[in-house]
Structure formats: structure tokens, C-alpha cells
Structure 1
Amino acid sequence: MKKLICLFMILGAAWRLTAQITPAVAVLPTEDLVTQIFGKNKESLLNDFLKISPLEERAFQSAFLEYETEKSPWLTERIALLKMYNEEFSSIDEKKMNSLTRQFINNDLEFGRLQMRYFRKFNKLLGATRAAKFFQLDNYLEQSTRVYLQNQLPFIKELESDKLAKPLTAR
């Protein structure tokens, strides 16, 4: 039961990203958000963090570009789902909510499979520790961009509950 509650909280947080995305935020690609948040692009952050040697640089850049290219459709789908939710936020019904929830979960599963495939590649290229560090930073940047957007958005049905003016109390 606790896992189910946590899952719904996580999904709620993900959907919160879409509830009121401002046009300025909605059009920013993930790379622009990373630069805006951290002051460097993702590749620079990774090079600094992983201490890529000149001998590894060409192979790393190739693998990184390949990973980002394969990751792009996942991000595009996630953004499309968020936009769909955003457009239908005020009138979304149970059937559509069920469908969107399943699509978000499948999207996350696909991303996990993509990361597993590339972990094997980066493991061969950089060794297990630096491959783990790569995905630690990649996940950190992904979560940071989600949080950045999420802080601007209400939770599902939060707008309707605000009309009732019932304050939340801690127990």
C-alpha cells in the first residue's frame, strides 16, 4: 500500500509539471534548462564530473551523442504527454487519467531500458564507477529539470480544492 501511495505521489508530481506551464518554460528544451539551472551545458558538466581523458574524449562524445539522440524521442513523448495533460487539466475524466497514467509509467519504463542499454556501453568505455557516475549525474539533471518546472505547477485537482478554501493540516 505504501508503494502504491508513493507511486501516486510521484505521478502527481510529474503531472504537476504540466498543469500550468508558462509559455517561456514550455518551449525551453531540456538542455537549455540545464544551462539555465547549472550555468553549463550537460556535456561540460559530464566532462568535468567524469574527468574524461583526451584519449577517451572522442569515444565518449560519440557514445554521449548516440545516447542523447536515442533519449530524444523519450523526452518528446514525455513533453507531449505533459502538454496533453496541461490542455485537458480542467476537464480530464477518469478514463483519460487512467490512460495518461499508463502512458507516463510506460514512458518511464522505456527510459529505464534505454539507460540499461547505455550503462553497458558506458561501462565498457569508462568502467563501472564512472558509468555509474554518468547515470547518477544524468538522472540528477533530469530530476532537476523536472523539479524546476514542477515548482510552477499545481497538483492534480488542486485548483478545485483551492476553491473550497480548506487548509491542509499535518497529523
Structure 2
Amino acid sequence: MKKVSCLLILLVAMTWRLAAQSTPATDAVAVNDEDVVAQIFGKNKLMLLSELLNLSPIEEKAFQTTLTDYETEKGPWLTERIALLKLYNEEFSSLDERKMNSLTRQMINNDLEFTRLQLRYFRRMNKLLGATRAAKFFQLDNYLEQSTRTYIQNQLPFIKELESDKREGRPLTRR
């Protein structure tokens, strides 16, 4: 129950902190989840994960190395995702079918790359920590990632047809 409460507090605080920023939505993702974790829990991500995962001193060093590698490899994926979201946001009104097709495929491929990265690191974490603790790690990591994605998605305009339906007061679902 304590863990669920902590995660709910994290979501509320992350949403509040991101909403309080005056920068465009795609720049809001630049908020470092390390800062958010430290603000909510009073510890950095490594310390929080060490406690959550109940790491022994021997596991701690190997885990720290693996976590650093994971966060480093996650960087280019996140940079590409932000660039794609900015492109969509900047060119929203002028996207034709060809551009929309290309952009959508790039977003899907970006998601697939991230899933492959997580799978590679789940294997490493599984060997290092066992399945249960590896699952706990990715549960928290996914929680932070999905919270950020949700916030950004809520800030982006709808694709042309949906946006025009919204302005005209029609339901946003297709019939």
C-alpha cells in the first residue's frame, strides 16, 4: 500500500510540476525524472531503486552500472521522440497524407526501439536481480515514462479531422 501511495504522489507531483511550466509541451519532457524523483522522495533514482529492490552491497555496484548503461542508451531514444513530437507540433496544420504516414511510422518505430531496449535490459536485470525485482524496476520506469507521455499527449493538438470536430462541438468518436 505504501508503494502505491508513493507512486500516486509521484504522479500528482509530476503532473503539477509539468503543468506549472510555461514552456511548450514538447519542451516539458525535458524535465529530468531524476529531479522529480528527488523532489518527491527526497532521494535520487538510484537510492530509491536500491531500497525498492532491496539491493545487497554486492548487487548495488552491478545494478548501478546497469542502470547507468540503461539511462545512457535511453537518451537517444528520448531525444528522437522529442524531435518527432516537436515536428508534429510545428507542422500540425500542414501535414499531408505522405508526411503524416512518415511521421506516424517514425513514432511507431521509435516505440519499437524503446521496447527492444527494455527487453534487452530486462534480460540483464533478470540475471542480476531475478524476475520479481527486475519487474519492479521496469514497473517504476514505465510508470515515469507513461506519466510523461500522458502529459505531453494531452498538450498536443488532435490530428486535423479530430480537431475540426472538436471546434464544431461534434463528438470525438467516429460513427
Q: TM-score, normalised by structure 1?
A: 0.75
Distance in 2 between residues matched to 1:99 and 1:105, nearest whole Å = 10
The 1:59/1:102 distance shift into structure 2, 3 A limit, reads same
- 2:40 is matched with which residue? 39
User: 1:72 aligns to what SS in structure 2?
Assistant: helix
Distance in 1 between residues matched to 2:99 and 2:38, nearest whole Å = 33
The 1:56/1:153 distance shift into structure 2, 3 A limit, reads same
Q: Are 1:67 and 2:59 matched, yes or no?
A: no
Percent identity of equivalent pairs: 65
The 1:168/1:75 distance shift into structure 2, 3 A limit, reads closer
User: Counterpart of 1:88 in structure 2: which amino acid?
Assistant: E
The more displaced of 81-90 and 22-31 is 22-31
The more displaced of 42-51 and 118-127 is 42-51
Distance in 2 between residues matched to 1:33 and 1:99, nearest whole Å = 33
Give 1:65 shift. Answer: 0.3
User: Counterpart of 1:164 in structure 2: which amino acid?
Assistant: E
Tell me the matched-pair count: 151
Distance in 1 between residues matched to 2:110 and 2:156, nearest whole Å = 21
Structure showing greater relative contact order (alpha-carbon pairs closer than 8 Å, 6 or more residues apart): 1
Gaps of at least 5 residues in structure 1 are 1-20
Distance in 2 between residues matched to 1:160 and 1:66, nearest whole Å = 44
Distance in 2 between residues matched to 1:150 and 1:37, nearest whole Å = 24
Give 1:133 shift. Answer: 1.4
Distance in 2 between residues matched to 1:36 and 1:30, nearest whole Å = 11
Give 1:73 shift. Answer: 0.7
Distance in 1 between residues matched to 2:103 and 2:158, nearest whole Å = 15
Distance in 2 between residues matched to 1:140 and 1:68, nearest whole Å = 15
**Contact 1:35/1:42, CA 8 A, preserved across alignment:** no
Per-residue deviation, residues 62-87 of structure 1 (Å, max 9, x unmatched): 10000010111111111111011011
User: Counterpart of 1:82 in structure 2: which amino acid?
Assistant: L
Among candidates 65, 89, 92, match of residue 92 of structure 2 = 89
Q: TM-score, normalised by structure 2?
A: 0.73
Gaps of at least 5 residues in structure 2 are 1-20
Distance in 2 between residues matched to 1:33 and 1:162, nearest whole Å = 36
The more displaced of 47-56 and 158-167 is 158-167
Among candidates 48, 52, 68, match of residue 49 of structure 1 = 52
Among candidates 128, 152, 164, match of residue 160 of structure 1 = 164
RMSD over aligned Cα atoms? 2.8
Q: 4+ runs of 1 displaced by more than 4 Å? A: none
Per-residue deviation, residues 110-147 of structure 1 (Å, max 9, x unmatched): 11111111111111111111112111211111101111
Per-residue deviation, residues 79-100 of structure 1 (Å, max 9, x unmatched): 1110110110111111111001
Per-residue deviation, residues 30-84 of structure 1 (Å, max 9, x unmatched): 5248707972443344223212222221111110000010111111111111011
User: Counterpart of 1:35 in structure 2: which amino acid?
Assistant: V
